[in-house]
Amino acid sequence: MNYPRTIVFLLTLLFFACQQKEKTSNIIKVDPEDNLEEIVRKSTLVVPSERQYDWQQLEFIAFLHFGPNTFTGVEWGTGMEDPAVFNPTDFDASQWVSVIKDGGMKLAMLTAKHHDGFCLWPTTTTNHSVKSSPWKNGNGDVLGELVEAARAEDIEIGVYLSPADLHEIERPNGTYGNGSEPKPVKIPSDPELQKTADRIFEYELDDYDALFMNQLYEVLTQYGPIEEVWFDGANPKPGTGQTYNREAWYDMIRKLQPGAVIAIKGPDVRWCGNEAGITRESEWSVLPVPEHPDNYDWPDLRQEDLGSREKLEGAEYLYWYPAETNTSIRHGWFYRDDEQYVKTVEELIDTWYRSVGGNTVFLLNLTPDRRGLIPEKDAARLREVGNIISASFEENLALNAEVEASDAETSSANILDENAETFWKPADGNEQAELVLTLDGEKEFNRLVLQECIKTRGQRIERFAFDIWDNGDWKEVADGTVVGYKNIRRFPMVNAGKVRLRILQSRVAPTIATFGLYKAPEILSNPSIYRNKECMVTIRCQTPDPVIHYTLDGSDPDAGSMVYGRPFELPDGGVVKAIAMIDNGAQKSEIVEERFDICPAGWTVEEVSAQHNSYPAINAIDGNPSTMWHTPWGDKAPGHPHSITIDFGETLALNGISYLPRTDGQLGGVCKHYKVEVSKNGTDWEPAREGVFDNIRNNPVKQEILFEKIIDARYLKFTSLSNVNGSETLSAAEFGVITR
Ligand code: FUL
Does 260 sit in the ligand 1 pocket, CB within 6 Å? Answer: no
User: What's the chain's average pLDDT?
Assistant: 95
CA of 116 to the centre of ligand 1 (A): 11
Q: Residue 192 to residues 120, 198, 208, 221, 645: CA-CA distances in angstroms?
A: 20, 13, 20, 14, 62
pLDDT per position as a tens digit, 502-537 = 999 999 999 999 999 999 999 999 999 999 988 999
The arithmetic mean of pLDDT across residues 243-260, rounded, is: 97
Q: For the segment 44-89, what is each residue's pLDDT rounded down to a tens digit?
A: 999 999 999 999 999 999 999 999 999 999 999 999 999 999 999 9
Distance CA 458, CA 463 (A): 15
Tell the burial category of 544 from Cβ atoms under 10 Å away from its Cβ (0-12, 13-18, 19+).
Answer: exposed
Task: Say if residue 16's pLDDT is above 60.
Answer: no
pLDDT band of 297, cuts 50, 70, 90: confident
Distance 232 CA to ligand 1 centre (A): 7
**27 phi, psi to nearest 5 deg:** -140, 130
Atom of ligand 1 nearest to the CA of 63: 9
d(CA 263, CA 249): 13
- Whether 539 shows a pLDDT value over 50: the answer reads yes
Indicate the pLDDT class of residue 2, thresholds 50, 70 and 90: low
Mutate to test the pocket of ligand 1, among 333, 365, 367 (most ligand atoms within 8 A of CB): 333
What average pLDDT does range 208-218 have in this prediction? 98
Task: Give distance in angstroms: CA of 652 to centre of ligand 1.
Answer: 35
d(Cα 315, Cα 307) in Å, to the nearest integer? 10
Query: CB count, 10 Å around CB of 730?
Result: 30
Residue bearing the CA closest to ligand 1, atom 8? 333
Q: Residues 513, 62, 347, CA angle at the centre, nearest 5°?
A: 80
**Spatial distance between the Cα atoms of 431 and 453, rounded to a whole number of angstroms:** 16
Q: Whose CA is nearest to atom 10 of ligand 1?
A: 232
Contact 275, 326 (CB under 8 A): yes
Q: What is the pLDDT of residues 616-649, one digit of tens each?
A: 999 999 999 999 999 999 988 999 999 999 999 9
Cis bond before residue 184 (omega within 30° of 0): no
Q: Which of 232, 327, 367 to mutate to test the pocket of ligand 1 (most atoms within 8 A of CB)?
A: 232
The pLDDT assigned to 20 comes to 44
Burial of 172 (0-12, 13-18, 19+ CB in 10 A): exposed
Taking 90 as the threshold, does the pLDDT of residue 14 lie above it?
no
Residue type, 491: F
Position 556 scores a pLDDT of 96
Helical residues (DSSP H) of 305-450, grouped into ranges: 309-312, 345-356, 376-392
232 close to ligand 1 (CB < 6 Angstrom): yes
pTM of the model: 0.93
Q: What is residue 682's predicted lDDT score, i.e. its pLDDT?
A: 94
Bridge partners (DSSP) of residue 467 are 476, 500
On whether the CB atoms of residues 148 and 93 are closer than 8 A, the answer is yes
% of the chain residues with pLDDT over 70: 97
SS3 content of the chain, % helix, strand, coil (to 5): 20, 35, 45
Q: Quick one: pLDDT band at residue 21, thresholds 50, 70, 90?
A: low
* Choice from 165, 302, 698, 701 to test ligand 1 binding pocket (greatest atom count within 8 A of CB): 698
**Atom 6, ligand 1: which residue's CA is nearest?**
333
Asked whether 140 and 87 are in contact (CB, 8 A), the reply is: no
Q: How many residues does the chain have?
A: 740
User: How many CB atoms lie under 10 A from the CB of residue 701?
Assistant: 16
Which residues, 6 or more positions from 302, have their beta carbon under 8 angstroms from its beta carbon? 273, 274
Query: For residue 188, is the peptide bond before it cis, meaning its omega torsion is within 30 degrees of 0?
Result: yes
Which amino acid is located at 61 in the chain? I
- Evaluate: CB of 694 within 6 angstroms of ligand 1: no
CA atoms within 13 A on the CB side of 218: 23
Q: Flag whether pLDDT at 13 surpasses 60.
A: no
Q: Is 271 in the pocket of ligand 1 (CB under 6 A)?
A: no
**What confidence tens digit (pLDDT) does each residue in 455-472 have?**
999 999 999 999 999 999
DSSP 8-state symbol, 555: S
Question: How does pLDDT run across 675-714, given as a tens digit for each residue?
Answer: 999 999 999 999 999 999 999 998 999 999 999 999 999 9
Contacts of 184 (CB under 8 A, 6+ apart): 202, 203, 204
d(CA 564, CA 452): 47
pLDDT for res 11: 58
Q: Ligand 1: distance of its center to the CA of 110 in Å?
A: 12
- Give the number of the atom of ligand 1 that is nearest the alpha carbon of residue 234: 11
Judge whether residue 348 has pLDDT over 60: yes
Calpha distance 702→720 (Å, rounded): 16
Please state the atom number of ligand 1 nearest to the C-alpha of residue 328.
Answer: 9
Q: Which of 235, 30, 288 is nearest to 117 (CA)?
A: 235
Residue nearest to atom 2 of ligand 1 (CA): 234
pLDDT in tens, 95-120: 999 999 999 999 999 999 999 999 99
Q: At what angle do helices 376-392 and 345-356 cross, to 10 degrees?
A: 50
What are the DSSP E strand ranges found in 35-139? Answer: 60-64, 107-113
195 torsion bin: left (phi>0), alpha (psi -120 to 50), beta (else):
alpha
Q: By three-state DSSP, how is residue 178 classified?
A: coil
Cα 422 to Cα 514: distance, rounded to the nearest angstrom: 8
